[in-house]
């Protein structure tokens, strides 16, 4: 359309604020002024893609679309979903410094520690957990640890089992770790050692399917990062409940840094550790 009441390239201050409030209510993510350009651009892109020429009609469309599809597209566009090794490392630090000591203090010798990573995506996260434990957990030799990792997408599970990564994906790894556990391939790729590939159990799972999720039980730590944000409210709740059922009492769950249970469910307790806020399934007295 030719007649615009606003500049085509940027949202008005009121529009940005209104959108920001809405997005915050939906996801708990609050964009500050510094993200203005990024947010504007993504919204304009989505408006073009869906054929809306003004923000108001686009906004009403996403608010009232029963399928929630466009809102989901918008969420996807606004949340960066890059996976790489040692992403959000502070949670792994909290794992070895705080979570594991608490968990093992309640276990008898010979009992296993079980860790669940979902989604596995192409494997960066479960391998990161394994690497972190091997390199930074002082009690790694005292306990048996099982790491299970799942994804709904069998292609990425296959890729995870191949264990081949780009230099971009491994760039956060300290050089000694890269050298110790990876073999350089052609074209700047790296392959992770077979020992680690064989140490992780990769299984397909649909996190909102409660019957399927019954197969996953007794986890002490769950990493579920940057997945729930892509679901609608009801599915998010179901997923949280399924994860709750998959955990031992006192078990911990970590979400992505911009995510919070405050948009999902109050069944978990909030625990604040020096490096991270995580969630815990209540101990005795509860289910």
Nearer to other proteins, 84 or 143 (CB): 143
Nearer to other proteins, 168 or 195 (CB): 195
Helix (H, G, I), strand (E, B) or coil at 216: coil
Q: How far is CA 71 from the centre of its chain?
A: 19
Is residue 248 within 8 Å of 102, Cβ to Cβ? no
Residue with the two structure tokens 């350089």: 184
Dihedral sign (CA 159, 165, 166, 170): positive
Nearer to other proteins, 21 or 153 (CB): 21
Question: Angle 227-282-245 (CA atoms, 0-180°, nearest 5)?
Answer: 50
Q: Rounded CA gap, 143 and 132, in Å? A: 15
Nearer to other proteins, 180 or 217 (CB): 217
Residues in the site for other proteins, rule: CB under 8 A?
Answer: 12, 14, 18, 21-22, 24-25, 28, 56, 59-60, 63-66, 68, 112, 130, 133-134, 140-147, 196, 198-201, 210-211, 214-215, 217-218, 232-234, 237-238, 241-242, 244-245, 260-267, 270, 272, 277, 286-287
**Closest distance to other proteins from the beta carbon of 214 (Å):** 6
Is residue 160 within 8 Å of 148, Cβ to Cβ? no
Residue 180: HSE in the Cβ half-sphere, 13 Å Cα cutoff: 10
**Closest distance to other proteins from the beta carbon of 172 (Å):** 21
Nearer to other proteins, 39 or 113 (CB): 113
Could you tell me which of 245, 282, 242, 237 has the C-alpha nearest to residue 261? 237
Rounding to the nearest 10 degrees, give the CA dihedral for residues 30, 36, 39, 41.
180
For residue 218 the two structure tokens come to 């007794």
**Closest distance to other proteins from the beta carbon of 168 (Å):** 26
Is residue 77 within 8 Å of 230, Cβ to Cβ? no
Nearer to other proteins, 97 or 241 (CB): 241
Q: Rounded CA gap, 21 and 24, in Å? A: 5
Q: Rounded CA gap, 63 and 217, in Å? A: 37
**Closest distance to other proteins from the beta carbon of 282 (Å):** 8
Nearer to other proteins, 6 or 167 (CB): 6
**Closest distance to other proteins from the beta carbon of 188 (Å):** 27
**Closest distance to other proteins from the beta carbon of 140 (Å):** 6
């Amino acid at each position: 359309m030719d007649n615009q009441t606003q500049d085509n390239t940027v949202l008005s201050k009121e529009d940005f604020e209104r959108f920001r409030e809405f997005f915050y209510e939906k996801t708990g993510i609050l964009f500050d002024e510094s993200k203005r350009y990024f947010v504007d651009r993504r919204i304009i892109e989505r408006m073009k893609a869906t054929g809306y020429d003004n923000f108001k009609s686009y906004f009403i469309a996403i608010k009232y679309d029963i399928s929630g599809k466009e809102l989901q597209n918008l969420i996807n566009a606004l949340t960066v979903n890059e996976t790489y090794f040692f992403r959000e490392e502070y949670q792994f630090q909290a794992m070895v410094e705080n979570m594991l000591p608490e968990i093992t203090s309640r276990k008898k010798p010979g009992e296993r520690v079980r860790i669940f990573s979902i989604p596995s995506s192409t494997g960066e996260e479960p391998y990161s957990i394994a690497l972190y434990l091997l390199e930074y957990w002082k009690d790694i030799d005292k306990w048996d640890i099982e790491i299970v990792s799942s994804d709904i997408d069998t292609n990425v599970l296959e890729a995870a089992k191949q264990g081949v990564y780009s230099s971009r994906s491994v760039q956060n790894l300290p050089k000694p770790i890269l050298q110790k556990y990876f073999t350089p391939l052609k074209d700047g790729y790296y392959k992770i050692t077979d020992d680690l590939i064989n140490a992780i159990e990769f299984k397909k799972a649909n996190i909102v399917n409660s019957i399927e999720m019954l197969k996953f039980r007794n986890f002490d730590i769950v990493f579920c990062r940057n997945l729930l944000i892509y679901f609608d409210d009801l599915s998010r709740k179901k997923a949280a409940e399924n994860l709750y059922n998959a955990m031992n009492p006192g078990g911990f769950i970590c979400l992505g840094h911009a995510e919070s249970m405050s948009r999902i469910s109050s069944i978990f307790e909030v625990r604040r550790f020096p490096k991270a806020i995580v969630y815990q399934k209540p101990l005795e007295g509860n289910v």
